[in-house]
Chain A
Amino acid sequence: MIRFPDRLILKNWRRGSKRSSHVELGRDGGAPPSLRSGVMNRRKFLFTMLASTVVAETVNPVTASAGAVYSRQRYLRPPGAVASDPFLARCIRCGQCAEVCPNESINYFGLGNGLAAMGTPYIIPREQACVLCMKCGEVCPTGALQSISRTRESILEKVRMGRARVDESLCLSFQGNTCGVCARACPLGKVALQVGYLEQPHVQAGCVGCGLCERICIQMPQAIRIIPNYA
């Protein structure tokens, strides 16, 4: 995806238009319109475009190669999603995963994240987290979301949406007040999120990244976040 630095182009554009109006006004005493400066302007403009394209293509290799933008916002794929590249290749954007989602967690990308990711499902845990009902994997026809049975063992084994991380400078419990709301929201219990002294949350290896802790966190901004796992 090519993105032009808008400011540069606008600046050149403005300068060029000013000059031409300057010539038209005839302040130079009837001198012929300086064709040369116009050519230079055009050349500069083209060069800026070319340079910005080259920069955009080299600086951001993700956008240059896959066409999908992963960096603009933090989002999760629904549970059972395969790694990001096979996911984009497999997902046919049929929209059935959100149709069966009982929690309205799943939403779809528009054009904002690039044409390649358009119409693919995502979950923003702070808005509406996943309740691990596993209906989306069941209904997905393409294998972009793998079917996982709704048992504690298989969820712990196969779901890899991400991993929670606690910001101790924001977390109430780490600041000396007892909170523990995230641990109570966690559907997997001690294997995923264990509470210690003053109910301070400690993320364990079992965390699958459903995001219910982030959804429920009473701090604003949230003190616990899911770090997505796209691989």
Chain B
Amino acid sequence: MNNAELIVSNKAVSELSKHRPLRRYLNKLRWLSLCLVFAMLIILPLLSVYQTYVASHGYRLLSPSGKHFYDVMQFFTSPFTDDPANSLDAVKGSTWSGNFFGFKISDPLAVLGQIAAAADIYPAFLITALTPILFSVLFGRFYCGWICPATLLYELNTNLAVWLQKLGFRPGHREFARYLKYFVLMVCLVVSALTGTVVVAVIYPPAIIGRELYYALALGGFGAGTVFFMLTLLFDILVARRGFCRYLCPGGALYSLLGRYRLLRIQRQVQQCNDCAKCNAVCEFGLNPMRDDFGQECNNCCACIAICPTDALIFSTRVTDISSQGAGHLGPKYRKLHLANTNNICDEDAKA
């Protein structure tokens, strides 16, 4: 009887995995989003260089490589605009603070840092952060997973660590307290207030990447921020997987706090879970999706959804996690616990 049940459930599993619901592709979509943002951070400085070339009316004075660059940029921009020197100003900036067709968006951390440094609220700047704040309240730490240009590099860095592991190198897997990053955020704000400068701008990886890409492509040279970012990459490989995002990032701390009671969160359907723990293995943030431990740290990266063989993980609109669902109903632990019960039921069925 038990075996028959198992076969049935396995059949159900295989059918489920054939079906492949759309949410399983969200992780791929996220990679697309990350790549698009990163591409934008590369294209915008190039556009800005092209604009200065156009504004200077000096095509003949350009070097051969400059002329080539000019031609390529002209080829790509001419369908969209007749006046690149002015109209390309419509899209500027990075994820730290940007301008999209007159709609200015800034990182909430920038606003918080400025408020701490200046001890003063500048309303026009505060307004630019409202959209990200609203999205964070609704979707939690989605910025970290879906937009942050550093995330792309950090995830590639994780892959690098995996390759290194195959070559015999052992990456670090230390665990620290999760609340360390809130402490870092607090220290950053206090230091900002004491020194009167926005210190977070110097140590916040997405801000650094946006800036350094611009420096490298338009101004000709990397700055000190690159060194700092390389150090964080090393930290991730040598000390803890995704260690900077998990334990040190002040922006991640702020987004976690904003998204503590987020409306949309990943939830485990205990009836479909078979306790295979693949979700725990792929979670880069070291969370425990198999036992409903998402908390405010989850960055909605959907890796657990993509890997779940029984599609037990779904998005739900709840303000909190369901923390005590226990073992998955398709798993061995649950079966062992309820073996006696099911046998009794079967006996009763047989009698009837």
Contacts and interface: CB of A to CB of B under 8 A. Distances in A.
A118 B208 CA distance: 12
A85 B198 CA distance: 12
A104 to B, nearest CB: 5
Given A92-B96, A96-B97, A143 B124 contact: yes
B92 A139 contact: yes
B151 interface: no
Contacts of B201: 92-94, 119
Interface in A52-99: 66-68, 85-86, 88-96, 98-99
A209 B17 CA distance: 69
B325 to A, nearest CB: 43
Contacts of B99: 96, 139, 141
Contact of B94 (A94, A98, A100, A110): A94
Interface stretch (B175-183, B215-223, B233-241, B337-345): B215-223
B202 A115 contact: yes
Interface size class of A (residues with CB under 8 A): 35 or more
B117 interface: yes
A102 interface: yes
A94 B113 CA distance: 13
Contact of A111 (B93, B94, B110, B224): B224
B152 interface: no
| Interface SS, B side | helix
A95 B224 contact: no
Nearest to B85: A102
Interface centre among A99, A117, A143 (most CB of B within 10 A): A99
A100 B49 CA distance: 9
A94 B210 contact: yes
Contact of A93 (B89, B104, B120, B211): B211
B142 interface: no
Contact of B224 (A88, A104, A110, A117): A110
A92 B113 contact: yes
Contacts of B210: 94-95
Contacts of B104: 141
Contact of B117 (A89, A102, A110): A89
A116 interface: yes
Interface in B93-139: 93-94, 96-99, 104, 106, 110, 113-114, 117-120, 122, 124-125, 128
Contact of A118 (B114, B196, B224): B224
Contact of A94 (B52, B93, B119, B215): B93
A108 B92 contact: no
Contact of B202 (A90, A94, A118): A118
Given A86-B118, A108-B219, A119-B211, A94 B197 contact: no
Nearest to B213: A95
B55 interface: yes
Given A94-B110, A95-B93, A99-B92, A143 B223 contact: no
A135 interface: yes
A142 interface: yes
B224 to A, nearest CB: 5
A142 B218 contact: no
Interface string A112-140: 00011111000000000000000100010
A95 B211 contact: yes
Contacts of B113: 92
Contact of B219 (A96, A100, A107, A139): A107
Interface in A212-226: none
Nearest to A133: B55
B44 interface: yes
Given A108-B223, A141-B104, A102 B55 contact: yes
B110 A90 contact: no
Contact of B110 (A92, A99, A102, A108): A92
B207 A141 contact: no
B195 interface: yes
B243 interface: no
B37 to A, nearest CB: 15
Contacts of A115: 197, 202
A111 B227 CA distance: 12
Given A86-B118, A100-B48, A92 B214 contact: no
A29 B154 CA distance: 62
B145 interface: no
A43 B201 CA distance: 40
Interface centre among A89, A102, A116, A135 (most CB of B within 10 A): A89
B300 interface: no
Interface of B: 44-45, 48, 51-52, 55-56, 85, 89, 92-94, 96-99, 104, 106, 110, 113-114, 117-120, 122, 124-125, 128, 195-198, 201-202, 207, 210-211, 214-215, 218-219, 223-225
12 contacts: A66-B195, A90-B198, A93-B207, A94-B94, A94-B106, A94-B210, A94-B211, A102-B51, A102-B55, A117-B197, A118-B224, A141-B124
Question: Closest 10 interchain pairs by CB?
Answer: A89-B118, A94-B97, A102-B55, A89-B117, A93-B201, A116-B197, A92-B110, A99-B48, A88-B197, A96-B93
